[in-house]
Amino acid sequence: MPPTAPHSRHRPKIAVMGAGSIGCHLGGSLAGAADVTLIGRPAAMDALREHGLSLTGGGRRVLRVGSSGGPADVRLATRPDAAAGADFVLVTVKSAATADAARLLAPQLTPGTVVVSFQNGLRNTQILDSALDGHPVLAGMVPYNVLRTSPGAFHQGSGGTLMVEDTPRAGPLVRALAGAGLRIEARGDMREVQYAKLLMNLNNAINALSGLPLRDQLGQRAYRECLALSQCEALAAYQAEGIRPARLGPVPARLTPRLLRLPDGLFRRLAAATLAVDAQARSSTWEDLQRGRPTEIDSLQGEVVALAARHALPAPVNTELISLVRRMEAAGPGAGRRWSGGELLAKVTSVR
């Protein structure tokens, strides 16, 4: 008989599928409020066993880790069967790995297990939903930036409130996250939240092409103009599709391009929250390129280009950004051209 997933337990049992930056951050943060198992690649698990799991930013924590049972803050596993009996499975793999993760999880999940995607991108919940027949799949959103700084060490470089679908099923997870000291909001408009997050994530490619930390890159008007152009194409496609992105910050999404175009001094004053990222923070696209991994560009600029095409709208800036990131992927780990703000702006405006 497979173990059941009793929702009444005080400490929920949580498995995290994908022990990378977000998985280790969420799993490690939850360790005091839930029974956490991280499921990851053997190399990632070896690094955690050797170095432990340390989280910096928002209060440093060093956690003990173990393989099964015993006095460990988090348990480590390399096989998806470690998700059996979990109340919640948090999916934190990159979007391109979602279908495979779902295929591996499907035979392991216990009746009643709730699956929550804490990924960027618009399609992950649908992919999980169709592969995990009968299991509720909820959308989640991570607003802040987490970077792996060394093996086993993860740094949160900015702040914000986690979001998850507002349903009673999410209750124990919401309470555990809040109990772990993370800001969490249950929302009834997660689809609109995902579209709003996509607008913000369009900066990932620009950040990677700049080679700069996020704060330095966003502090320069030419890079912000590139982002504004990219967002304007997305907003036009959203409008054609009838999508109204949620408001996630002080400025409505449709006005963000105007804010981005302000001169540096004024932008710094008015967008203090946007620049409240610490000096180390970089986009995950930058990290993927440094480590020679495929980027999520298809789930970011790729979604805008696809949506625009559906409405016969042009999206040359996003198309060009995809091709520049592809060239960096092809150049190999840490290689490829770094673009100054002026150069990148000239490049993306030359194709309009």
- In the DSSP assignment, the letter for residue 110 is P
- By the rule CB under 6 A, 39 interacts with ligand NAP: yes
- Should residue 35 be labelled a site residue for ligand NAP when binding is judged by CB under 6 A? no
Stretch that binds ligand NAP, among 91-99, 224-232, 241-249, 322-330 (CB under 6 A): 91-99
Q: Are 114 and 170 in contact (CB under 8 A)?
A: yes
Give the span between the Cα atoms of 293 and 288, in whole angstroms. 5
Instruction: Determine, following the binding rule CB under 6 A, whether residue 293 of this chain makes contact with ligand NAP.
Output: yes
Q: Which one of 64-72, 92-100, 184-192, 266-274 is the stretch in contact with ligand NAP (CB under 6 A)?
A: 92-100
- Name residues whose C-beta falls within 8 Å of residue 347's C-beta, 6 or more positions apart in sequence: 320, 324, 339
The CB-nearest residue to ligand NAP is: 20
Nearer to ligand NAP, 22 or 177 (CB): 22
Taking the least distance from each CB to ligand NAP, the nearer of 177 and 345 is 177
CA distances from 37 to 30, 88, 297, 348 (A): 10, 11, 29, 44
One-letter amino acid of 47 = A
Residue 198 or 345 having the CB closest to ligand NAP:
198
CB 204 within 8 A of CB 284: yes
Site string for ligand NAP, 104-123 (x = CB under 6 A): x--------------xxx--
Q: How far is the CB of 116 from ligand NAP (least distance, A)?
A: 12
Report the candidate in 230, 238, 163, 221 with the shortest Cα–Cα distance to residue 200.
230
Please report how close the Cβ of residue 291 comes to ligand NAP at its closest, in angstroms: 8
Is 13 a binding residue for ligand NAP by CB under 6 A? The answer is no
Minimum separation from the CB atom of position 146 to ligand NAP (A): 4
Query: With contact defined as beta carbons under 8 Å apart, do 109 and 29 qualify?
Result: no
Determine the Cα–Cα distance for residues 40 and 310; give it in Å rounded to an integer.
37
Q: Which of 5, 15, 16, 22 binds ligand NAP (CB under 6 A)?
A: 22
DSSP track, 294-322: --SGGGTHHHHHHHHHHTT---HHHHHHH
Q: Which is nearer to ligand NAP, 15 or 34 (CB)?
A: 15
**Is residue 93 at the binding interface for ligand NAP, with CB under 6 A as the rule?**
yes
Give the C-alpha separation, 323 to 301, whole Å.
Answer: 10
User: In this complex, which beta carbon is closest to ligand NAP, that of residue 121 or of residue 219?
Assistant: 121
Amino acid symbol at 320: E
Query: Does residue 103 bind ligand NAP (CB under 6 A)?
Result: no
Smallest gap from residue 158 Cβ to ligand NAP (A): 8
* Pairing status of strand 53-56 against strand 61-63: antiparallel
Cα dihedral 106, 110, 113, 118 in deg (nearest 10) = -40
Q: Verify binding: residue 18, ligand NAP, rule CB under 6 A.
A: yes
Q: Which of 29, 203, 220, 284 binds ligand NAP (CB under 6 A)?
A: 284
Tell me which residues touch ligand NAP (CB under 6 A): 18-23, 39-41, 44, 92-95, 97, 100-101, 104, 119-121, 142, 145-146, 284, 293, 296
